[in-house]
Amino acid sequence: MTTHKDIATPSRTKEIMEKYGFSVKKSLGQNFIVDPNILSNIVAASDIDKNTNVIEVGPGIGALTEHLARASKEVIAFEIDNRLLPVLADTLSPYDNVSIVHSDVLKVNLQQALPEMIDLDEPLVVVANLPYYITTPIIMHFLETPVRIDGLTIMMQKEVAERITAAPGSKAYGSLSIAIQYHMKAEIAFIVPKTVFIPQPNVDSAIIKLTRRATPSVTVKNEKSFFSLVRSAFVQRRKTLWNNLLIRYGKEDSTREKLIKALEVAGIDPKRRGETLSLEEFARLSDAIDEIVLEKD
């Protein structure tokens, strides 16, 4: 494939935006990267090759998309902003392995939509520069789809990346950390300074790499109960685990007695805060609550 002049330079980005009279919409979280090295590093971190199919969300003017097209088998890019469709048709015209889908990815049934474009038995990853305001719903959408996503390499607000990769006992650790670490290994690949974007955001970004685990990080009897317990443990972070459990399961004497027993069985001190519990401890407590507290539910 012929090498083309990178989209992701300040001059080319401005030239494309001027050509189409395009101005970014703050409401869509549009920030365009103007440093090709950053894009090369994102592609390198994602471990894709010519056997890998890639989903991208929010391709913008195609800066990351073209790097993905050069490195992967097929790229399916979901773009919600119809003003960008003619821009992408132009900037990505050299690449015949890119499909632009004009749609909100959160409203797409991936199990129905993707087989028309790619073979779901082949490796499939998500690589994207996500809009800050909707990062978490998009990640959860990919984790919860029946389609097997092998990994996600995504740019997001540094603070959110720190929450996703946080360990127990840290301020950043919470239900989001657990929801993602349950399914995926999570690590920050590198930090991206705000200076490499047009327009410049207020905060730095991070590239996070999520790799699908062969099996969930902990075994639980009931996933729904497990995640319900996790959410309730962080409802009021400053409260003890015990107080949050009472808010979630009820304050009746019989319920209190069952909760005390469940905590004993799980070997967890009720005075601890939710943020100190590991995934293993949450799993033990979830199973104990399921058996002792929710037995008749």
What pLDDT band is residue 26 in, cutting at 50, 70 and 90?
low
Measure Cα distances from 75 to 89, 127, 131, 226 in Å. Answer: 14, 10, 19, 35
**CB within 8 A of 182, min separation 6: which ones?**
216, 217, 218, 279
pLDDT at 212: 94
List helix spans (H) across the chain.
10-19, 36-46, 63-71, 85-91, 110-113, 135-144, 158-165, 175-183, 223-233, 241-249, 253-266, 279-292
Instruction: Say how far apart CA 187 and CA 185 lie, in whole Å.
Output: 7
Please write the tens of the pLDDT for every residue from 140-185: 999 999 999 999 999 999 999 999 999 999 999 999 999 999 999 9
Helix (H), strand (E) counts: the chain:
12, 9
What pLDDT band is residue 1 in, cutting at 50, 70 and 90?
very low
What pLDDT band is residue 266 in, cutting at 50, 70 and 90?
very high
Say if residue 297's pLDDT is above 90: no
Please write the tens of the pLDDT for every residue from 130-139: 877 889 999 9
CB of 233 closer than 8 Å to CB of 241? yes
> If you average pLDDT over every residue of the chain, what do you get?
92
Measure Cα distances from 51 to 3, 69, 184, 281 in Å. Answer: 20, 12, 22, 39
Tell whether 129 is in a known binding site: yes
Instruction: Say how far apart CA 22 and CA 9 lie, in whole Å.
Output: 16
Which CATH class for the 10-212 domain?
A: alpha beta
Question: Six-digit token pair at 295?
Answer: 């037995």
Map out the domains of the chain as residue ranges.
Answer: 10-212, 223-292
Check residue 75 and report its DSSP letter.
Answer: E
pTM of the model: 0.90
Tell whether 109 is in a known binding site: no
Tell whether 104 is in a known binding site: yes
Instruction: Say how far apart CA 81 and CA 88 lie, in whole Å.
Output: 11
Please write the tens of the pLDDT for every residue from 220-261: 999 999 999 999 999 998 899 999 999 999 999 999 999 999
Q: How many residues does the chain have?
A: 297
Which CATH class for the 223-292 domain?
A: mainly alpha
Say if residue 276's pLDDT is above 60: yes
Tell whether 79 is in a known binding site: yes
